[in-house]
Structure 1
Amino acid sequence: MPKRTFVLVPGAWFGGWVWRDLAERLRMQGCIVTTPTLTGLGERCHTNSNSADLTLHIEDVVSHIQMEGLDNVDLLGWSYGGMVISGVHSRIPEKIRSLIFFDAFMPDNGMSLVDMIDIDKRELYDTARGADQKIPPISMKAFGVNDPTVLEFVEPRTCLQPWRTFFEPVSVSPDIGLVSQSYILCTKWGIVSPMTRFLPLALTRKANVIKVKGSHLAMLTEPDETLAAVLSTP
């Protein structure tokens, strides 16, 4: 079987560092793996500007794939990263072998991230927008993360998120149904997982649905289970 090429896209507040354990495991299985960091986050936090938007983050990944000369890419997006990979597919569908939504937002065309969250949870984001300020990270415990070792690794590395990334609508290709898709749902949040709302759309797109008994950060809290789920995607 040919080697698979994975590009792992992080979510809001996180950088490519979040894939440390999963990337290592995938490479041990003979896969090609890259972990780009989006503008303003991770090791690129010094570039953080409120002018950063979803279009820029999509361009980050498009440019990464093009500059690295990657083809037949299994493009995996986690959480907010689902918005990014949807836009990347719209830009360079010829480069994408499959889309993997890892406990991620799965948008329809013209939707923004804030369109897909409960109204009562939008206050933080609307406040940041009104004040033209970046958005602080959500508590990791809400994501089901209680392991002190994981928290010690994660919390110092999260960054403020440019608010425009949550409010800009994404352009989803009308041909998105032609690409192989998978949805990996993590079931051990500290709250009721809001990601279950995307299962009907995933099924409409004939996506392969896989459940992982893990936190929203299962790539760190349950890396072996996450590896098995990712490798089981078609």
Structure 2
Amino acid sequence: MTAFVLVPGMCHGGWCFADLTAQLRGLGHVVHPVTPTGIGERSHLLSGGVNLDTHIEDVTALLAAEDVHDAVLVGHSYGGMVITGAADRLPGRVDSLVYLDVVDSGYAVRPLPFFDPRATPHPLASVLQPLRLTGDPARVRRRDYVYAAGWDGESPFTPVYERLRADPTWTTHSLDGGHNLMRDAPGELLKILLDVATK
């Protein structure tokens, strides 16, 4: 079976993947939902030194400690930068990357009113630090982009989705859900992840 590593977006912990985690595990897959350092139940670890590199290290340390190989890394929003960095640093352990509604850049914000009540403020340095890559992103077998088409109003992610749809090195999907696809379209997202694991 496949090993999935699920990385949340800003202000969220691994708990936001609870339903998806249970479904994937119920099908026999190994699933590691990540709560980044300084967030949620790990907010007590927040310091001025927590940045994007810290969150990338959260994932690479997990891959090493759990001896995970051929992983499917799933990043929601900000988590897309984290999985990209982790795949760059440990390419031999990563098979595929799945991006859920990810934009090229963003700004730090407090948890928005529609966020889960467990959301906590996000470390500012982690979104201000540029992502530095050392390797070739083509070293992973597959890269998927999952676009949330059900925003109330225009999605800020539409330009990224349109660009990747025209790129033959990406597989794109459009789901009728808001930005938190794991909450708004869990069944369809589960199908996509199972497809990534088997093809």
Structure 1-normalised TM-score?
A: 0.78
Displacement, 1:202? Answer: 6.1
Q: Distance in 2 between matches of 1:137 and 1:76?
A: 21
Looking at structure 2, the residues matched to 64 and 202 of structure 1 have their Cα atoms a distance apart, in angstroms, of 31
- Shift in CA distance, 53/221, structure 1 to aligned 2, threshold 3 Å: same
**Partner of 2:152: helix, strand, or coil?**
coil
1:188-227 pair list within 5 angstroms: 188-199=150-161, 200-201=163-164, 203-204=166-167, 206-227=169-190
Counterpart of 1:188, as a letter, is: G
Contact 1:185 1:211 in 2 (8 A): yes
- Using the TM superposition, give the Cα deviation of residue 174 of structure 1 relative to its aligned residue in structure 2, in angstroms: 4.2
Task: Report the counterpart of residue 40 of structure 1 in structure 2.
Answer: 38
* Aligned partner (choices 134, 137, 156) of residue 111 of structure 2: 137
Give the letter for the 1:190 counterpart: D
Number of aligned residue pairs? 195
Residue aligned with 1:232, SS: helix
Match of 2:8 among 7, 10, 22: 10
The answer to whether the 8 Å contact 2:91/2:139 transfers is: no
Segments of 4+ moved more than 4 angstroms? none
1:69 equivalent in structure 2 = 67
- Report the structure, 1 or 2, having the larger helix content: 1
Counterpart mapping for 1:1-234 below 5 A? 3-105=1-103, 107=104, 113-114=105-106, 125=108, 135-140=109-114, 154-155=116-117, 157-179=118-140, 180-199=142-161, 200-201=163-164, 203-204=166-167, 206-233=169-196, 234=199
TM superposition shift of 1:217: 1.2
Q: Whose Rg is larger?
A: 1
Distance in 2 between residues matched to 1:205 and 1:57, nearest whole Å? 29
Structure 1 unaligned regions, length at least 5: 108-112, 115-121, 126-134, 141-150
Identity of counterpart residues, as a percentage? 33
What amino acid is aligned across from residue 218 of structure 1 in structure 2? L
Contact 1:89 1:173 in 2 (8 A): no
TM-score between both structures, scaled by the size of structure 2? 0.90
Residues of 1 paired with 2:168 and 2:84: CA distance?
13
Cα deviation for residue 25 of structure 1 reads 0.8
Q: Deviations over 1:18-38 (max 9, x none)?
A: 000111111112211111110
CA distance in 1, matches of 2:175, 2:111: 23
Contact 1:86 1:171 in 2 (8 A): no
Tell me how large the CA RMSD over aligned residues is.
Answer: 1.7
- Please give the secondary structure, in 1, of the residue aligned with 2:191: helix
Question: C-alpha displacement at 1:201, in angstroms?
Answer: 4.1
In the alignment, is the contact (CA less than 8 A) between 1:10 and 1:78 conserved in 2? yes
| C-alpha displacement of 1:169 | 0.6
Contact 1:187–1:193 under 8 Å retained in 2: yes
Q: Partners of 1:202 and 1:99 in 2: how far apart?
A: 16
Secondary structure of the equivalent of 2:86? helix
Q: Is the 8 A contact 1:51 1:162 kept in 2?
A: no
